[in-house]
Amino acid sequence: DSGVTQTPKHLITATGQRVTLRCSPRSGDLSVYWYQQSLDQGLQFLIQYYNGEERAKGNILERFSAQQFPDLHSELNLSSLELGDSALYFCASSPQIGSYTEAFFGQGTRLTVV
């Protein structure tokens, strides 16, 4: 158990809908990363938050947004869902930024858009 908790584990929804994925980082970790994993693209970096502030953006669609709350948990919001958004969404957390620190991954949320 990495200590990173993601909910829900599975989500099935229809095209055009909006969903929210939740991530609770390890205790004390300030940095949260979101990744999307699909069969043909591997793990794609979406966005990073550090202590409540957005720190880096990757290949995140405009239909997607995220935030990190004062208690450091994070939510990834996906709207106007399309079939191609079906993927595993992972959250990772690490204690700090700057020099290397290990990133710990949650078990992921499997999103299926039908």
Partner 1 sequence: QKEVEQDPGPLSVPEGAIVSLNCTYSNSAFQYFMWYRQYSRKGPELLMYTYSSGNKEDGRFTAQVDKSSKYISLFIRDSQPSDSATYLCAMSAGGATNKLIFGTGTLLAVQP
- Out of 13, 30, 52, 55, which residue is the one contacting partner 1 (CB under 8 A)? 55
d(CA 55, CA 57): 7
73: contact with partner 1 by CB under 8 A: no
Strand order in the sheet with 19-24: 5-7, 19-24, 74-78, 64-68
Question: What sign has the CA pseudo-torsion 64, 110, 48, 30?
Answer: positive
The residue among 75 and 104 lying less far from partner 1, judged by its C-beta, is 104
80: contact with partner 1 by CB under 8 A: no
58: contact with partner 1 by CB under 8 A: yes
Residue 27's nearest CA partner among 3, 7, 5, 49 is: 3
100: contact with partner 1 by CB under 8 A: yes
99: contact with partner 1 by CB under 8 A: yes
d(CA 31, CA 96): 6
Q: Which residues bind partner 1 (CB under 8 A)?
A: 2, 4, 31, 33, 35, 41-45, 48, 50, 55-56, 58, 90, 92, 94, 97-108, 110
